[in-house]
Amino acid sequence: MSDVNKKDETAADHGRCMLNRRQFLMYSGTAAVAASTISISLFPGEAQAKARVVTYPRKKVAQLSQLKDNQPLDFNYPDDGPNSQCFVVNMGGAKAGGGVGSRRDVVAFSYLCTHQGGPMNGKYQAVGEHRVLGQCPLHLSTYDLTRHGIIVSGQAYQSIPQVLLEVDGDDVYAVGIMGLLFGRNQNLMDA
């Protein structure tokens, strides 16, 4: 038996999920890119199944030392195609779900409202302890950036897509997206 098979069998015996955090967050049925195939076994005693894993580009979007409190920095992700406008922001000590950095306050999101694609560039707000994106100029939706971009008011019914970040030293990298970018049927256009 090869070392690889031995490793899989051991994991299956213990019922361990063989997805690491990044792979788990990026796995998404029809939107997946067959960049690689891995074996998973989610429950003890269950046979292993093959799963396709989405592979987003890893893109440097900022340096921690360059981010000023509550001043968003724009970038495009996961490509430079339509509806890829995003921003990264240091929320001035407001700890956030998915936040990185020593205070867990650096987050990144899409600018496009999930309702009908209203552009929310320039709509980041820091008011007291609240950090929101909105109001959308079309129908006034507002999203809570400390809680993975959930809706707090307005016409939208889906969270604003959150760009997943990793930090390597002073560098901040985009590594994936939670949620579907407005106007796309899959985030990765070449999937």
- Taking CB under 6 A as the rule, does residue 156 contact ligand FES? yes
- Taking CB under 6 A as the rule, does residue 118 contact ligand FES? yes
Return the residue of 55, 84, 141, 159 that touches ligand FES, per CB under 6 A.
141
- Taking CB under 6 A as the rule, does residue 176 contact ligand FES? no
By beta-carbon proximity to ligand FES, the closer residue of 48 and 155 is 155
By beta-carbon proximity to ligand FES, the closer residue of 38 and 138 is 138
Strand duo 59-63 + 130-133: pairing: unpaired
Say how far apart CA 82 and CA 127 lie, in whole Å. 31
Return the residue of 8, 106, 115, 146 that touches ligand FES, per CB under 6 A.
115
Count how many Cα atoms sit within 13 Å of the Cα of residue 92 in the half-sphere of its side chain.
14
- Taking CB under 6 A as the rule, does residue 116 contact ligand FES? yes
Number of residues that bind ligand FES (CB under 6 A): 13
The CA R_g of the chain, rounded to the nearest whole Å, is 18
What secondary structure letter does DSSP report for 29? G
Active site residue 139: yes
Q: Which region among 25-33, 97-105, 115-123, 162-170 touches ligand FES (by CB under 6 A)? A: 115-123
- Taking CB under 6 A as the rule, does residue 161 contact ligand FES? no
- Taking CB under 6 A as the rule, does residue 132 contact ligand FES? no
* Least gap, CB of 112 to ligand FES (angstroms): 8
Residue 126 exposed, middle or buried by CB count within 10 Å (0-12, 13-18, 19+): middle
Binding site for ligand FES (CB under 6 A): 113, 115-118, 136, 138-141, 154-156
